[in-house]
């Protein structure tokens, strides 16, 4: 496992962004763990989180010119990732959208840099893929090319069919989805830490029931 993946997961657990217990998902399943990116809610935490996004982007071979953050969670993420990339000597523009078009001032749905060239979508997770599809449509309307999506955690869990939401985006939209870490990475981390010996069988059983073939 890449060092940044392990470090991210340890950071997320320490921050309380990854919690273990019993949580009901939007699909009605009882999950033994929960991921909530909303707990990265201070300056130091957001800085560290977005540095992990930057590491995932820089470790990939996916080319991009602009970062795009879908409203609302993607807005601070895209801005923070742009800063983190600049710290790594990769200066890129970023933009985000409004939920409703503004009819005064600069107007429109978009704020920030123009969408042109190859655009990387930045979000926390992919649940149903709705946000990604809306972002792709907006990017194409502006004459730009969607380059891919980068997220924090891939739950590797079945969505509407035998595929995960991530696989649907990759296969249906033809876009690469970059992840800081996955459920498989999380299980590797738990295997190496005796403190989580009680959690690992529950995650393994959940993955056996709802996991996807990768």
| 168 and 154 Cβ atoms separated by less than 8 Å | no
pLDDT, residue 108, reads 73
Alpha helices per DSSP H over 21-164: 43-59, 74-87, 130-141
pLDDT in tens, 72-122: 899 999 999 999 999 999 999 999 998 766 554 454 789 999 999 999 999
Count how many Cα atoms sit within 13 Å of the Cα of residue 106 in the half-sphere of its side chain.
8
pLDDT, residue 1, reads 47
Q: Which of 26, 104, 118, 142 is catalytic?
A: 104
134 contacts: CB under 8 Å, gap ≥ 6? 70
* CATH fold of 3-210: Rossmann fold (3.40.50)
What are 79's two structure tokens? 């801005």
Domain edges within the chain: 3-210
Q: Which of 26, 55, 99, 102 is catalytic?
A: 102
pTM of this structure:
0.93
CA torsion sign, 115 to 118 to 120 to 126? positive
pLDDT in tens, 113-170: 999 999 999 999 998 788 899 999 999 999 999 999 999 999 999 988 899 999 999 9
Question: Hey, how many other C-beta atoms are within 10 angstroms of the C-beta on 38?
Answer: 8
Known catalytic residue at 104: yes
């Amino acid at each position: 496992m890449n060092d940044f993946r392990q470090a991210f997961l340890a950071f997320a657990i320490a921050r309380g962004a990854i919690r273990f217990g019993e949580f009901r998902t939007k699909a009605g399943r009882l999950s033994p763990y929960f991921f909530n990116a909303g707990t990265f809610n201070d300056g130091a935490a957001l800085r560290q989180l977005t540095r992990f996004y930057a590491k995932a982007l820089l470790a990939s071979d996916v080319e991009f010119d602009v970062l795009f953050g879908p409203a609302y969670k993607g807005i601070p993420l895209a801005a923070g990732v742009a800063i983190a990339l600049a710290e790594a000597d990769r200066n890129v523009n970023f933009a985000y959208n409004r939920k409703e078009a503004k009819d005064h001032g600069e107007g429109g749905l978009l704020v920030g840099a123009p969408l042109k060239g190859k655009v990387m979508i930045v979000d926390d997770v992919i649940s149903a893929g709705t946000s990604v599809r809306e972002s792709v449509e907006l990017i194409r309307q502006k004459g730009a090319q969607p380059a891919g999506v980068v997220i924090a955690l891939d739950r590797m869990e079945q969505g509407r069919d035998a595929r995960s939401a991530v696989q649907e985006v990759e296969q249906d939209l033809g876009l690469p989805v970059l992840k800081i870490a996955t459920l498989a990475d999380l299980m590797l981390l738990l295997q190496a830490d005796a403190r989580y010996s009680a959690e690992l069988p529950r995650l393994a059983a959940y993955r056996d029931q709802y996991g996807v073939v990768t």
